[in-house]
Structure 1
Amino acid sequence: MLTTSEEDYLKALYTLTEWDDTEVSTGVLADQLGLSPASVTSMIQKLAGKGLVNHVPRKTVALSPSGRREALRMVRRHRLIETFLRDELGYGWDEVHDEAEALEHTVSDRFINALDARLGHPQHDPHGDAIPSADGTLPVSEAIRLDRFSGDCAIIDRISDEDPEFLRRAAIQGLVPGALIRLPHQLNFIEASLIWVRNANSK
């Protein structure tokens, strides 16, 4: 059994590398979690002792295969709860993240699997993020960040859910998963870095 903090660390490590294949340092992880580097280093050593992460001291930390399985289990919980809150309880897509953060640690795998069935086994959450299946399988995505996209017509795949204010503004502008946008679009660089798209002209 993992503690809530351990689950949060593993999920944070996964989300930091889900869309950008970059190495993660303890400092970057500390910023993501809003904790001190010393606290993060201590927890990483604990997780490494359990075989959940691979850690090079003062350099990088990465999920081990078992750590990735646990991270995906938490990601699945989070994203299914977000979807349930929006689809069944009428929450806005800018309101579901914090609620899911609290609830994901309190429910059983049986509950999550029943929730998945009730929702019709959705593949994506309200923000377009892929929902892992019970065995950890993820749908394949070829999306890239909008500020790195070079085409003239794109379809939004997902939008980062870390800034509720940005989500509200995006919704007003019609910038939601599945929306077609033509470029250059009136987005500044910071906003474009929060949106992932795929080429609308590709088959």
Structure 2
Amino acid sequence: MSSKEDYLREIFVLTEGGDSKTSTSELAREMDVTNASVSEAVQKLEQEKLVCRAAYKGFTLSPMGKEEASKLSEKHRRLEKIFSQLEVEDPEQEADSVEHSISLEAVEKLEDEVL
């Protein structure tokens, strides 16, 4: 099951940092989920003012969504780097599995110790 953070991070990637638009079907394909799941998630993100949507024209991140997604993407990138340095078999998957439950402060302290 994908979380709000997963959706935000993937939208950030697909919209080139929130500067372009993406579609429900493109996001569903990239996340390997159904269009219905994406529609539901985007609707929730829109209610939280993290996504801007225009009917039949796709959607992108709002300024607030860009900021949150940028922070999430940066934390994920930093975790991947840490796990890569530790020679974890699949650093990206490991980052995916812990990014929602670790604070930025903890990531920074891990960087200080590992990198």
Q: TM-score, normalised on structure 1?
A: 0.51
% identity of equivalent residues: 34
**Contact 1:53-1:64 within 8 A present in 2 as well:** yes
Partner of 1:97 in structure 2? 92
2: CA distance, partners of 1:69 / 1:116:
22
Note the C-alpha offset of 1:16: 1.2
The correspondence for 1:57, drawn from 55, 58, 82, is 55
Q: Deviations over 1:139-165 (max 9, x none)?
A: xxxxxxxxxxxxxxxxxxxxxxxxxxx
Return closer, same or farther for 1:58/1:42 CA change in 2, 3 Å cut-off: farther
| Higher strand proportion | 1
**Contact 1:80-1:115 within 8 A present in 2 as well:** no
**Contact 1:84-1:119 within 8 A present in 2 as well:** yes
1:77-156 aligned at under 5 Å gives the runs 77-87=75-85, 89-91=86-88, 95-118=90-113
Specify every segment of 5 or more residues in structure 2 that has no aligned partner in the other structure, as ranges: none
AA at the equivalent of 1:18: E
2: CA distance, partners of 1:90 / 1:46:
37
| Higher helix proportion | 2
In the alignment of these two chains, the number of paired residues is: 113
Q: Which structure has the greater CA radius of gyration?
A: 1
Specify every segment of 5 or more residues in structure 1 that has no aligned partner in the other structure, as ranges: 121-203
Partner of 1:18 in structure 2? 16
Partner of 2:70 in structure 1? 72
The alignment status of 1:44 with 2:42, answered yes or no, reads yes
The CA RMSD measured in Å over matched residues stands at 2.0
Return closer, same or farther for 1:68/1:117 CA change in 2, 3 Å cut-off: farther
Note the C-alpha offset of 1:119: 5.3
2: CA distance, partners of 1:22 / 1:65:
13
Note the C-alpha offset of 1:113: 2.6
**Contact 1:26-1:58 within 8 A present in 2 as well:** no
2: CA distance, partners of 1:40 / 1:117:
37
AA at the equivalent of 2:109: A
Q: Looking at both structures, which has the greater relative contact order when contacts are Cα pairs under 8 Å and sequence separation is at least 6?
A: 2
**Contact 2:50-2:63 within 8 A present in 1 as well:** yes
